[in-house]
Amino acid sequence: MSIDHTHDAAALSWVASANDPATDFPLQNLPFCSFRRQGSLEPWRVGVGIGDQILDLSAWGITELNALMARPSRERRALRHRLFDTLKAGASEVELVPQARAEFTLPCRIGDYTDFYTGIHHARAVGRLFRPDNPLLPNYQWVPIGYHGRSSSIVVSGTPLRRPKGQVKPPDAEAPVFKPSARIDCELELGLFVGPGNALGEPFGIDEADEHAFGLTLLNDWSARDVQPWEYQPLGPFLAKNFGTTISPWIVTMEALEPFRIPFTRPEGDPQPLPYLDSPAHRAGASYDIEMEVWLKTPAMEQPVRLSRSNLRHAYWSLAQMLTHHASNGCNLQPGDLLGTGTISGPAPEEAGSLLELTQGGKQPITLPTADGKGEQRTFLLDGDQLGLRAFAHKPGFRRIGFGPCDGVILPAR
């Protein structure tokens, strides 16, 4: 991939809202979604975001995003150039659909979902809570850790989730009990959508990984922290995770994010990746500078507040390494498969990507402003709380690229 005219910060669109410096979707972004007009029973359509509008691609013969994801990157770049030319200032205007008059579904058909654990600061912080004497397991710095999640419970932003029930074993109890989780948490992640897949038994090299990456979405892998420690040994996450995963309706393409590549480095003294996960080209630009935020609004608050801010640059394993390792044993990835990064926390306390870290396992409540001025506190989420993630990439000389909303509200358990 390379930077080209579609990244030119001076390029404007005939869509006025796309020229607003604060928009998530300038002409240089062009993210994909699946939508239909509110209140209609029409089929879901593939769309492209531009400012506060959507370009319907059904007239372009694009009716399923998975088919587009399966195409080679050169064809996807050609489509990006065509979209750019259609929407740039001076081009003939075409009909658009206001985002405010649209409803969204998952952007594509998600066949499989794998959640990785690439945030080493999160891994260490959680490890200290669950295993004080051994916070970082010995394989973490050698192999990209992941587990297979549940694709059927992935929902689009704005979908409410029920508080789950599960087995919980209090520290002083002799036996577990089955009850609603009292420790519902968020996880600040990005999700990588697979583009062209690989045949069963046919892995690919680290320098081929970019060909298999289609784009990124915001991802919140909701967690029941009181269920998790009791069930996760020895096989890892299960019911504490699979009750719901929220993603943004938008997929930001890897082409749009090309200007925000940064070198992939490891701290001095840490083991370097094994050869199948390493190359000079990978070290030169496999990481990305993408800001990520957690926002919370309780029923007593007038406006949401930002709880934390992190960056994808803190990931210990790259997107390319996630893809390459996943397929290294011959596993066949398919267009539309989703790979979560795992919680991306930074080294500072205010960069924590989960409430578990922000509250030190529930020991240090967060104080929040309320409409009546009295304030309130949270350790984990209560019923009615709205949790939102935001992300954007920006640097001098390029337009800000946003990811749209990734919001969810917790409803009472049945």
CA angle 192/194/198 to nearest 5° reads 145
Q: Which amino acid is at 115?
A: D
Helix (H, G, I), strand (E, B), or coil: what is residue 180?
Answer: strand
Sign of CA dihedral 100, 105, 106, 108: negative
The question of whether 148 is a catalytic residue gets the answer: no
The number of residues making up the chain comes to 414
Helix (H, G, I), strand (E, B), or coil: what is residue 184?
Answer: strand
CA distance 51 to 53: 5
Locate 39 and state its tokens.
């209140």
Q: Which of 121, 122, 212, 326 is catalytic?
A: 122
Alpha-carbon distances, residue 333 vs 71, 84, 325 (angstroms): 14, 30, 11
Q: How many Cβ atoms from other residues are within 10 Å of residue 172's Cβ?
A: 5
Locate 350 and state its tokens.
């205010």
CA distance 54 to 30: 10
Locate 47 and state its tokens.
């769309």
Q: Which amino acid is at 91?
A: A
In 3D, which of 407, 282, 293, 271 has the Cα closest to residue 346? Answer: 293
**Residue 291 near residue 250, CB atoms below 8 Å:** no
Instruction: List residues with catalytic annotation.
Output: 122
